[in-house]
Structure 1
């Protein structure tokens, strides 16, 4: 595992070249696994703070959770972007095929943050009776964005699972010596 992180650390920002399926998926698994651990620790601390007293006294507020999740997601995107481009290159495709999924993810995060901020503002307004009044205008766009994100992510996973293009291609020499694993 340390060798995997060392190898990808050297090529972290290199969008050139090719990468075979096995090291790519091990890298994806380790990055997503690390993000899940960090997310779990954050959410556990966040919920623990909220549960120990009144929400107004908490040093964190509901608007901060989507922001932190956005930072974690952006970090995962940065760590995986070059590897995805190299994996797509290995199957003979341009790295630009990897762009739609992160764009939909980031726009969804921004819309969710806006929705949660509106909900929080509604709950803190004196005399407010409907805590969900900030949700209906954003629900449709968020739903459509999430469906587009899932479709683009599925397309990207399928493309990254495809066999390597045998031999050299326009992106460089074969990363596995001609084997199409």
Structure 2
């Protein structure tokens, strides 16, 4: 519990070093709480989207197909003019991801310092994730457009996501490495 509380107390402290036993409890707590927060934030966003789609199906039955049965109900909208507003969904997603990045940035930096690396090693996943969150709404809008999807943009986003996963795996490996047992340019070993 001390590691978790220390992580929150040092949110803006990018100096010094953190051992694995200090970093991982905090990081896993932040990720777990963030996913719960994202899930709770997505409920009203997805409810609004579903209500909009259901309203379109009720008022413009020619623009939508409704399929229902025991345990399921779906609405497929055929006319782009009637598509629900996905803005709240993407807003919740962006806020949630930004919160995770902000809450983990200093701790990741200190953990990387403990392995003798600069905190900049933590940036590639953030860059690829930012590209994804910026481009994804555009790709989704083009995929749903009547003139057909732009597969080149989709493939670029797919490549970006592949690079994001590869860089995230690389970062997790770096964060899992042993601590340097002696002082380094970032300070003495964490206690």
TM-score range, shorter chain: 0.7 to 0.9
2:35 matched residue in structure 1: 36
Which has the larger displacement, 62-71 or 88-97? 62-71
What is the TM-score with the length of structure 1 in the denominator? 0.81
1:135 positional shift: 4.8
Structure with max Cα Rg: 2
Alignment of 1:62-101 (within 5 A): 62-101=86-125
Counterparts of residues 40-51 of structure 1 (less than 5 Å): 40-51=39-50
* Structure 2 unaligned residues grouped into runs of 5+: 60-83
CA RMSD, 1 decimal: 2.2
**8 Å CA contact 2:49, 2:86 repeated in 1:** no
* Count of matched residue pairs: 164
Q: CA deviation at 1:23?
A: 1.9
5+ residue gaps, structure 1, are 123-127, 177-181
Matched residue of 1:51: which SS? helix
Quote the residue 2:133 is aligned against.
109
Which residue, 145, 157, 161 being the options, matches 1:142? Answer: 157
State the 1:5 CA deviation: 4.4
Q: 1:64 to 1:118 in 2, by over 3 A?
A: farther
Q: Which structure's residues are more often strand, by fraction?
A: 2
| CA–CA separation in structure 1 for the residues paired with 2:50 and 2:137 | 22
Task: Supply the distance in 1 between the matched residues of 2:3 and 2:56 (Cα, whole angstroms).
Answer: 42
- Structure-2-length-normalised TM-score: 0.77
SS at match of 1:41: helix
Which of residues 59, 62, 85 is equivalent to 1:61? 85
**CA shift digits 1:133-177 (9 cap, x unpaired):** 34524211111100110111011000000000002111011103x
Q: 2:18 and 2:7 mapped to 1: Cα distance?
A: 10
Deviation track 1:12-46 (CA, whole Å, cap 9, x = no partner) reads 11111000101211111111111110111122223
